[in-house]
Structure 1
Amino acid sequence: MAVVSLLNQAPYRRAHSSRERLNVADREDESWLHGDNRHNNNHALENKRSSGCRGTLTGSHQCSIETCDRIAINVSGMHYEAWQTVFERHPSTLLGDPNKRQRYYDRRKREYFFDRHRPTFEAIFNYYQYGGGLRRPETVPDDIFQSELDFFEIESEEIDAYRADEGYVEETILLPEGPIQKKIWMIMEYPETSKPAYVVAIISVLVTLVSIVLFCVETIPSVQHVECVPGNSPDFADPFFIIESLCTFWFTVEVVIRIIVCPSKPNFFKDFKNLVDITAVIPYYVTLSNVLITMDCDSANTSTSLAFLRVIRLVRVFKLTKHSAGLQVLIMTFRASLQGLLLFLVAMIVCILLFSSAIYYAELGIDESQINSIPDGFWWAVITMTTVGYGDKVPVGVWGKLIGSLCALAGVLTLSIPVPIITENFNKFYAHKTGRGRI
């Protein structure tokens, strides 16, 4: 009998889905309406549902998804529902504005229907409910995700934050007003715009490489020579002097033209690369001026204090970033990984202080000890933690070797801190820079 009783109750114990339960509640609500009032109440209820307004619930009213306080959304067959206040927190978006979302309302099913990408809407719905930033699911391509954000009219500042987090770099292009200046500026700054601009870029790259090679070669002892004998006139026919003069002449012409046609002089001089271009030619002209005034090589020694500025010529290699996507990705990666690199630097400093002090006191009193002070321990700790191991400073005692082993292990763990951060940022920047989004 007990079994029969349970079976008889089975139809009443059948589990209903949330949609079925709501439909049952709808029928119960409609059973309350009768006579002429039924038609009028139905008409008023329908107007209330389609209007998107919020009403005050009576004591006998049962809240359901089609009331003014809750919104039902159907995205390609996937149903979502939430309080209207959830969407009202974002009034400028498609779902947050009743007038914008009204055209997607299905009166027969009493829901808003969107034939859109379901996995993307999952992230958008979470953004509405919980706030915070937008997070793209790993299985959603970036172009689809951004198109869905545009369709639902998500706030522009949130989209910009998402793009920055994904590795996009927005570049503001400012052009001169005059047509001639604009054309010259495009030739000097944007090699991909025309063939003359591409030729100028190739020449600039070659001259930069020649200047760097010359800077390095002239320091080789076998090719070093005295350009002029003291007391005699300078030798302007020297090959090194001629090549350096030609390179400096090209750099000078390039900088002068860019200064003349640039759209904004303040912005031009705020750019570090432009300041490097200007500073790189100063030592040459200072030295040449002294030589021409006195016509004596001894006068060139008066400008040796500016000789260190010639090293800045090597910084010109960063001009190649305009023509190399790889170098651009590398610079953007380190810039985005700055916080992780600072954390690594702090960890390195702490470990260096700890192990250098420990090795000094562990080796203190040993005659053959090579660690004579804690600063000596600094150098030893850096070399040990980075696993370079020059061997110029090594522990001698047993306790010193034990500390050295721990220092090496700590160095391996510390070096692993920035690796995942740099790798993740590099993958993001490289994917977007080369036009290959993740899938």
Structure 2
Amino acid sequence: MEFIKRIRESEKQKATDRRIKLNVGGVLFETWASTLERISGTRLALLAHLGETDDSFDKEKKEYFFDRHPGAFMSILHYYRTEELHTDQNICGNIIKGELEYWGLTELDIEPCCWGHYSKFKDHKETLAALDDNFTEPDIDVDAWGDKPTSLTKFKRQVWQVLEEPSTSRGAKVYAAVSMFFVILSIATFCLETYSSFRVPIDGASMVNKTSTYAISYEDDTCRRQGYSSGYAFADTKPHVVMQVLDYICAAYFSIEFLLRFFFAPHKLKFFKTPLNIIDLLCLVPHLIAISLNLKDPNDTTSQLFKSMLALRTVRILRIFKLMKHYTAFNILVYTIKVSMRELLLMVIFLFTGVLIFASVIFYVEQETFQNIPVGFWWALVTMTTVGYGDKVPKTEGGYIIGCFCVLCGILTVAFTVPIVVNNFALYYAHAQSRIKLPPHKRKELKRKIFLKNQKSMDFIEKLKKRRREKTKTFTDVKTVASPRAPPCGQECTPGDNAITDKPDCKAIFCIRNIAN
């Protein structure tokens, strides 16, 4: 019976209702006027109230025309019919936000199931804009080299582009390849000179005997044997002369390269603030000091100063970051880690929370194997990360159960957080590759557009600040309240005064009111 009553009520309402045709971006939509009046205070509710007197009404075609996005409007019209706002995942959230503001709706009306996809555009927009600034830096020719550069300035600009932008010319690509070769050679020399085959004894060094014990297993028992070998201690050896020559060549190359880049840099102070240049300087200074001490007194390799310089030479392993300038994926990886610090921190917190819990539990279950809780920290960490060295293992049934839970929690912790970082890397990598693969003239045009966009944003902010300063307290203006969903002014319009309807309560109907800013 209730269903029949609803049908009769709807038929009575349709008898007094009228159909409205909406042409949105060339796509025709039809609905009832009562449907548009369901959500008061919106642009469509105003249209249903005004009827043919609305500005968007086309008298010839008997329809309302709006030059807006038809795909987003389909979701908005569905909201009027069902009172549930669902967004199309194929439409950018920035477009949806603009359409919602135009039709008098807010993003808070979006259902929770679609909110996750919609809210991503804010973070992606900011992150990709910063990524554009990194991979398509604005052209600094005007600021650095001047409007009318001289012949010397033009030469310095060309050399600077060869040194800093590998994709600008064939010579820049050759220089990038040579630079990568010396970076790899320097790191390989640094690693191989610690191997015994590439070291020779210093003058006066004596050999030492080394004893090694090993076991041989037979069918019945195990036999242990000892072996003796002789050699030199690491402190009594030095790198082979070939390794030293390669080390000197790499040091000379990086020194000349650093001086050339500093000489041709357009901004000297900005040059020393760049992270890669700071790494170059930190790698060069200890390296050159160690070489100077070695050339001064080759036999004085046991002094404390020389050992300190050798220890500081390990900083030159950071030259691997120089590949960021020549290899895009490496740069994007570092940038992804920087942007995803919140997700990585969340993973670390979850991981160490589990480590603390399982280390404490395993200590009280197996005190014979785990003498203290810090030892349990090590076992829980290698277990949750699924490394499992096996140096500390549980030996009872209770320990096995705790170990199973520890492994499961570790897998879930990694599985929940790592895909977020992977998705960020895939997004940034695809975006950066699309920018890098642009032709040179289009890349320059993109740089110019990004620069102009940032400049317009700064100018707009300055204008807003200036207007706020010039604004007086007594200034009033006639403002059109396009949506009654905005906070009302607390007053009511009288019929025939400044309302567009004869209804006495204009707080729920579109009205025009003088508002003091």
Which TM-score applies when normalising by structure 1? 0.65
In 1, Cα distance between the equivalents of 2:165 and 2:75? 38
Q: Is the 8 A contact 1:384 1:404 kept in 2?
A: yes
Equivalent-residue separation in structure 2 for 1:280 and 1:327 (angstroms): 20
Contact 2:198 2:243 in 1 (8 A): no
Counterpart Cα distance in 1 of 2:403 and 2:299: 58
Shift of 1:112: 5.2
Instruction: After TM superposition, list the pairs within 5 Å mapping 1:121-132 onto structure 2.
Output: none
Q: Establish whether residue 180 from structure 1 lines up as the match of residue 155 from structure 2.
A: yes
Q: Against the structure 1 CA distance between its residues 162 and 121, is the aligned structure 2 distance closer, same or farther, given a 3 Å change threshold? A: farther
1:84-126 deviation digits (Å, cap 9, x = unpaired)? 9989xxxxxxxxxxxxxxx999676685542x6533677999x
1:164 and 2:126 are equivalent in the alignment: yes
Correspondence for 1:341 among 339, 344, 367 = 344
Mean Cα displacement is larger for which, 302-311 or 188-197? 302-311
CA contact (8 A) 2:199 2:240 kept: no
Partner of 2:323: 320
Distance 1:354 1:212 in 2: 41
Shift in alpha-carbon separation, 1:145–1:433, aligned structure 2, 3 A = farther
Cα deviation 1:360-412 (Å, max 9, x = unaligned): 11113xxxx22111110000000111111111101123322221221111111
Code of the residue aligned with 2:132 in structure 1: it is E
Distance apart, 1:270 and its partner CA:
2.1
Q: Which has the higher strand share?
A: 2
Tell me the alpha carbon deviations over residues 202-257 of structure 1, each in whole angstroms, 9 at most, x when there is no partner: 10001111111111111112222246668xxxx99911111111111111111111
1:191 Cα deviation from its structure 2 partner: 0.6
Equivalent position SS for 2:278: helix
> Alignment partner of 1:19: what SS?
strand
Aligned: 1:255 with 2:205: no
Contact 1:383 1:389 survives alignment (8 Å): yes
SS of residue matched to 2:132: coil
Equivalent residues of 1:333, 1:426 under 8 A apart: yes
What amino acid is the match of 2:323? L
Partners of 2:200 and 2:239 within 8 A in 1: no
Tell me the residue number matched to 1:32.
none
Cα distance in structure 2, aligned partners of 1:408 and 1:236: 45
Q: Distance in 2 between matches of 1:350 and 1:359?
A: 14
Aligned mate of 1:193, from 160, 168, 171: 168
Q: CA deviation at 1:310?
A: 2.1
Count of aligned pairs between the two proteins: 339
SS of residue matched to 1:193: coil
Task: Tell me if the contact between 2:56 and 2:66 (Cα under 8 Å) persists in the aligned partners.
Answer: yes
| Contact 2:20 2:63 survives alignment (8 Å) | no
Matched, 1:404 2:403: yes
Consecutive unaligned residues in structure 2, runs of 5 or more: 1-6, 31-35, 44-54, 78-85, 103-119, 146-152, 206-237, 436-517
- What is the Cα deviation at residue 413 of structure 1? 1.1
Question: Given the alignment, which residue of 71, 82, 87 partners 1:119?
Answer: 71
CA distance in 2 between counterparts of 1:401 and 1:167 reads: 50
1:384 aligns with 2:383: yes
SS at match of 2:131: coil
The one of the two structures with greater contact order (alpha-carbon pairs below 8 A, sep at least 6) is 2
1:267 aligns with 2:270: yes
Q: Tell me which of 180, 189, 203 is aligned to 2:178.
A: 203
**Contact conserved, 2:258 with 2:280, CA < 8 A, in 1?**
yes
Q: Is contact 2:92–2:121 with CA below 8 Å preserved after alignment?
A: no
- Counterpart secondary structure, 1:219: coil
For residue 393 of structure 2, give the secondary structure of its aligned residue in structure 1: coil
Unaligned runs of 5+ in 1: 1-5, 21-71, 88-102, 126-134, 153-157
The residue matched to 1:353 in structure 2 has which SS?
A: helix
1:191 match: secondary structure: coil
Amino acid at match of 1:276: I
